[in-house]
């Protein structure tokens, strides 16, 4: 099945009200387990490369690997640059085969975000690549967003200052021509501090004004019952890594603690890693309601 863009996947998800995960695909273990799960439950999938989260794995290796795996998959798979911060990074990802890119201009003032996002859209759309942008600012881990500034630090104390404005969201989409909009409504990257406080009414208001699919970054680690609420409010793309990464790490830690050092070799760790990402991805695909939606018809 050919590599697809996020627009094709997420328009279908928005119309039929289910969610599709965007999963950190930093290495072959992750990609192999994730695609195996998607093929088994017949689900579309988004594989995300995030330079800040896997800095030791070059984009020149990771992105082509994900692209090749997506091209060989039996279900629709998009390969996505997550949190690109300038046109140069976006163009590199396009040259490496990404079918979708994110330009994260949330650190910029509104007019500059519009200007730079519009230029990214012009370049990407010229070669058939979809674009996601962010309006508002999603807090949490600076490692994931690549932002090390007062915005990230201040959001824990005053998160509502950085929530997406529904009226501005409609204007932003119209002026930039983006295919997907990442919104801020109390979601944070990394581990949540205390109980999450999500403004789902704000998401509903944005969804009513904006015709493109909406993305929620930092959506792992929530209670299971929250995910259907996210989707019903209008979220189509669910950014999910931290909780999955922590579960897999615990499983590998347990395996290593129980293993016999005299026979343990690294290929066994690889196999266990693939199996763990497969299990966690399969559970998530079923939770978000995208299992059985691979047809996109």
pLDDT tens column, 164-184:
999 999 999 999 999 999 999
**H or E stretch including 173?**
helix 166-176
d(C-alpha 291, C-alpha 37), whole Å? 10
Q: Cα separation of 229 and 140, whole Å?
A: 21
pLDDT tens string 274-297:
999 999 999 999 999 999 999 987
112-161: pLDDT as tens digits: 999 999 999 999 999 999 999 999 877 655 444 554 444 444 445 556 77
Cβ proximity of 75 and 294 under 8 Å? yes
Active-site residue (options: 29, 82, 179, 199)? 82
Record the pTM. 0.92
* 82 part of the active site: yes
Domains in the chain, please, with CATH?
A: 6-240+278-288 (3.20.20.70)
């Amino acid at each position: 099945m050919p590599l697809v863009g996020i627009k094709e996947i997420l328009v279908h998800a928005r119309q039929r009200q289910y969610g599709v995960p965007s999963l950190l695909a930093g290495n072959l273990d992750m990609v192999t387990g994730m695609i195996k799960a998607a093929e088994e439950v017949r689900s579309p999938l988004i594989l995300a490369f995030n330079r800040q989260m896997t800095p030791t794995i070059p984009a020149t290796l990771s992105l082509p690997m994900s692209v090749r795996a997506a091209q060989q998959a039996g279900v629709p798979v998009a390969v996505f640059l997550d949190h690109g911060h300038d046109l140069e990074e976006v163009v590199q990802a396009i040259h490496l085969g990404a079918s979708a890119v994110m330009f994260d201009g949330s650190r910029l003032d509104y007019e500059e975000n519009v200007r730079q996002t519009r230029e990214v859209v012009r370049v990407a759309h010229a070669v058939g690549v979809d674009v996601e942008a962010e309006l508002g600012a999603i807090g949490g881990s600076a490692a994931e967003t690549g932002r090390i500034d007062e915005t990230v630090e201040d959001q824990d104390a005053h998160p509502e200052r950085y929530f997406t404005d529904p009226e501005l969201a409609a204007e932003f989409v119209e002026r930039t021509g983006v295919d997907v909009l990442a919104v801020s409504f109390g979601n944070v990257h990394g581990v949540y501090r205390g109980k999450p406080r999500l403004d789902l009414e704000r998401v509903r208001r944005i969804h009513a004004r904006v015709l493109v699919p909406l993305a929620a970054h930092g959506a792992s680690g929530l209670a299971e019952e929250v995910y259907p609420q996210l989707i019903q409010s209008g979220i189509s793309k669910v950014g999910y890594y931290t909780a999955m990464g922590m579960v897999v790490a615990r499983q590998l830690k347990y395996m290593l603690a129980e293993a016999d050092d005299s026979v343990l070799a690294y290929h066994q760790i690889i196999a266990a890693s693939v199996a763990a990402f497969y299990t966690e991805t399969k559970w998530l695909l079923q939770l978000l309601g995208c299992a059985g939606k691979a047809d996109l018809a």
